[in-house]
Amino acid sequence: MASLWGGRFEKDMDDIVKKYNASIFFDQRMYNEDINGSIAHVTMLGKQGIVSNEEKDQIIAGLETIRKDIAEGKIVFTVEDEDIHMGIESRLIERIGDVGKKLHTSRSRNDQCQVDTRLYLRKEVYEILNSLCYLENVILEKAEKYADQITVGFTHLQHAQPITIGFVFMAYFQMFKRDIERLSDALKRLNYNPLGACALAGTTMPIDRHLTSELLHFTAPTENAMDAVSDRDYSLEFLSDASISMMHLSRWAEEFAWWNSSEFSYIAIDDSFCTGSSIMPQKKNPDIAELVRGKTGRVYGALMSILTTMKGIPLGTALAYNKDFQEDKESVFDAIDTWKATIDIFAKMLDKTEFRMDQIEKQLGKGFLNATDIAEHFAKQGIPFREAHSIVGHMVKACENKGCDFEDLTDEDLQAIDKRVTKELLGDISIKTCVNARVSFGGTAPSEVRRQIEVGRQWLNSLER
Ligand code: ARG
């Protein structure tokens, strides 16, 4: 079959070239965007008198029949189509005849593929933002549920200070909040219209790029045609945002795997989010958490792939469009699918995960979690913090020697460490009292976590959706 661009050729492409060159197998997922772009384009051509009104209507009607047939699976694209742009245009000509040949006036596949990719990415960005908001909702609900529940806070994989579980949830909430803000910000730069940039240098035809921008809900046409066909930094921005967010998800997934381990047993992941072993009958493995970690590598790979593709493509030496650019799509599509699915599954897994407070409580007595609180308590009584730190350090030593807790130290033990310290001065040093007192802004006290939840909820509700 002769290609739409075949005029100056004497031979058909070799079969292996066709296959290697084609993007139809992956870019057909943008068929709706391609048709929407074409409809906006021909509407503008009609308005500008470049095609007649009647021709415009015929082209739009033809495109709509193609849209319907693709949706119903009645059109099967093959390697002969090369890409979605020609796949649709050639069918349009088949169906409506010569009028169809006017659609590609003042347009190139170079700007067309960019219109499609930007429209497609925009649609997916909205979906991902929705998914992230759903995740944030689940986090807020869990944070509320576990606002008062105390767990062990670690540094260096050592028991450090007591914290509330709600506090941990709200830490992750902040990360995904920034992911949402970053992605919303990327949308501002993504949403520009390359249509009418043509091959690289614009056109002699009297087109109106502002009109197509309006029709396609872009903010404005891209300012420079050469930049329009060769810019892929909107994809890179998307992939950077995806990578950062996957990193956040992966960190939490790693935490899930730890919490779920036999040693920790802090959580019970719902059976429906675990898998078994084909040989060890007792196993219930946190495969989903592990896959989240694994898939993060895949999204980083997409970012690296396009960064590397782009680094050697100059503009000024008339190389504005290079076929290298065709490689922009698969990585972006894969990252979209992976990121979106990961957020959704993670949110559902989180929703179905319960903390095993009986297991966690067993750990709270270990590791002198309230040591810092006691030092701060002494500091409040006028002992300089450095001295208070040293006194509590000696108390830890004394406890270790006696094999007891702070509460079990006698007045004699305390006086031997420092004359200023008595059991009375020590006061109530229960873990709960200590946690409740961590009310500094951003701290772990339940009252402070509830404030964070409130602010978080207000922010989430304020987002336009
Ligand atoms: N399938 C191509 C892509 O996605 C469309 C542009 C082709 N342009 C060209 N000059 N060969 O990049």
**pLDDT given for residue 102 in this prediction:** 98
**pLDDT given for residue 281 in this prediction:** 87
Atom of ligand 1 nearest to the CA of 84: 1
> What are the tokens at 368?
């002198």
Q: Which one is catalytic: 156, 262, 440, 462?
A: 156
**pLDDT given for residue 347 in this prediction:** 97
**pLDDT at residue 196 above 60?**
yes
**pLDDT given for residue 13 in this prediction:** 85
How confident is the model over 302-311, as pLDDT tens digits? Answer: 999 999 999 9
**pLDDT given for residue 180 in this prediction:** 98
**pLDDT at residue 5 above 90?**
no
Question: What does the pLDDT average to over 224-242?
Answer: 96
**pLDDT given for residue 4 in this prediction:** 83
Q: Is there an atom of ligand 1 within 6 Å of 323 CB?
A: yes
Atom of ligand 1 nearest to the CA of 326: 12
How confident is the model over 380-439, as pLDDT tens digits? Answer: 999 999 999 999 999 999 999 999 999 999 999 999 999 999 999 998 999 999 999 999
**pLDDT given for residue 388 in this prediction:** 96
**pLDDT given for residue 8 in this prediction:** 84
Q: Is there an atom of ligand 1 within 6 Å of 110 CB?
A: yes
Residues near 350 by Cβ (< 8 Å), separated by ≥ 6? 135, 138, 139, 142
Q: In this structure, are residues 23 and 329 in contact, taking their beta carbons and an 8 Å threshold?
A: yes
- Written in H, E and C, the secondary structure of the chain is CCCCCHHHCCCCCCHHHHHHHCCHHHHHHHHHHHHHHHHHHHHHHHHCCCCCHHHHHHHHHHHHHHHHHHHCCCCCCCHHHCCHHHHHHHHHHHHHHHHHHHCCCCCCHHHHHHHHHHHHHHHHHHHHHHHHHHHHHHHHHHHHHCCCCEEEEEECCEEEEEEEHHHHHHHHHHHHHHHHHHHHHHHHHHCEECCCCCCCCCCCCCCCHHHHHHHCCCCEECCCHHHHHHCCHHHHHHHHHHHHHHHHHHHHHHHHHHHHCCCCCCEECCHHHCECCCCCCCCCECHHHHHHHHHHHHHHHHHHHHHHHHCCCCCCCCCCCCHHHHHHHHHHHHHHHHHHHHHHHHHHHHHCCEECHHHHHHHHCCCCCCHHHHHHHHHHCCCCHHHHHHHHHHHHHHHHHHCCCHHHCCHHHHHHHCCCCCHHHHCCCCHHHHHHCCCCCCCCCHHHHHHHHHHHHHHHHHCCC
How confident is the model over 346-364, as pLDDT tens digits? Answer: 999 999 999 999 999 999 9
Q: In this structure, are residues 132 and 176 in contact, taking their beta carbons and an 8 Å threshold?
A: yes
More confident residue, 80 or 271: 80
Q: Tell me what percent of the residues of the chain surpass a pLDDT of 90.
A: 88
217 among known catalytic residues: no
Question: What does the pLDDT average to over 367-385?
Answer: 94
**pLDDT given for residue 193 in this prediction:** 98
**pLDDT given for residue 319 in this prediction:** 60
Q: Is there an atom of ligand 1 within 6 Å of 235 CB?
A: no
**pLDDT given for residue 465 in this prediction:** 65
Residue from 24, 107, 113, 120 whose mutation best tests the ligand 1 pocket (most atoms within 8 A of CB): 113
Distance CA 16, CA 36 (A): 32
**Closest CA relative to residue 395, chosen from 381, 374, 365:** 374
Residue from 13, 25, 84, 109 whose mutation best tests the ligand 1 pocket (most atoms within 8 A of CB): 109
Chain Cα centroid distance, residue 349: 17
How confident is the model over 9-32, as pLDDT tens digits? Answer: 888 888 899 999 999 999 999 999
156 among known catalytic residues: yes
**pLDDT given for residue 329 in this prediction:** 95
Residue from 200, 326, 328, 330 whose mutation best tests the ligand 1 pocket (most atoms within 8 A of CB): 326
Q: Is there an atom of ligand 1 within 6 Å of 120 CB?
A: no
**pLDDT given for residue 14 in this prediction:** 87
Residues near 418 by Cβ (< 8 Å), separated by ≥ 6? 387, 391, 394
Question: What does the pLDDT average to over 46-74?
Answer: 98
Q: Is there an atom of ligand 1 within 6 Å of 325 CB?
A: yes
- Residue having the nearest C-alpha atom to atom 10 of ligand 1: 110
Q: In this structure, are residues 60 and 39 in contact, taking their beta carbons and an 8 Å threshold?
A: yes
For the chain, give the mean pLDDT.
Answer: 95
